[in-house]
Amino acid sequence: MRLKRRFEQANNRPDAIYALLERDSDLFWAHSMWSEDKAPTRWGIEARIIAGETDEEIAERVGVSPAVISAYANVFFDIRDKVDHTDYMVNVVMADAVIRGLQERHYDLLWKLLGYHGGSHVLNAVINKFTATKRPDTPDEVSGFFQDFAINTMKYKAALATLTVQINTHTQLALIDSFVKYVEIERTTESASKAHGTIVENIGAMLAALPFKVATKLDSEAIKMLPFDDGAAELRNDELMTYATGGAIKNKAEIQALHFPEPINASPK
């Protein structure tokens, strides 16, 4: 209140504003950031306070002194001792998100909500809109960089979509359908690791059921097929693939013993 009265008394006179700045510069700059209701800097400071960052960490991000952040937190956003009171945080600090819902453009509420539940690293990704992707060291790595960036961006947008989608007559059936599909996937896999194991097991069972196997080059020497090339019988496709890759076939001896009958010389008439 004292600062507000001094601002009113200054009446936008440069000399009075300068004197106010000299008297308490930390509080002056904290008030300057707080008074900008639509400023991303203010939203970021408040979201980072909610996320549990220290004054020093926030100051490093914003580019001001820790004393300015301390003044802001103590005078304009004094909630650090209430962070563990979830109902207060949701229904008071982030009340607008509960009342009217969220949209991606509601950066103030979105940053606070994700910072509160996800912490500092999640908040960094949301504010910067850029997850940690390895910087290419060579031109050949540029393609991989864009691929990783695209995947991470799609994950981010999918998360925002689930958080901001409205429930109404146009979306409720689609939401139910998506939920049913998710439950089916969860029931069959339970976790990503089990899903991976299930896939590997299924591929192994499929390969074991095939009438051929994977072999090395030594197993598939062409000379092994010579006895059948000159024989009277040909191998079936499955027998050919099995034997060519080092496997055993049934009735091998009988097949090799088959031969054409000797030609009969016809007597001239």
Q: Is 27 helix (H, G, I), strand (E, B) or coil?
A: helix
Q: Name the pLDDT band for 55 (thresholds 50, 70, 90).
A: very high
Check pLDDT > 60 for residue 214. no
pLDDT tens track for 236-265: 777 777 777 677 777 777 877 777 777 776
pTM: 0.57
Burial per residue of 106-128, b for 16 or more beta-carbon CB atoms within 10 angstroms, e otherwise? bbbbbbbbbbbeeebebbbbbbe
Averaged pLDDT, 104-119 = 84
Cβ–Cβ < 8 Å for 61, 43 = no
Phi-psi region of 33 (alpha: psi -120 to 50; beta: other; left: phi over 0): alpha
Check pLDDT > 70 for residue 17. no
Over pLDDT 70: what percentage of the chain? 70
Distance (Å, whole) CA 234 – CA 159: 60
φ, ψ for residue 202, nearest 5 deg: -65, -40
pLDDT tens track for 133-170: 778 889 888 888 888 888 888 888 888 777 777 777 77
- Which pLDDT does position 46 carry in this prediction? 93
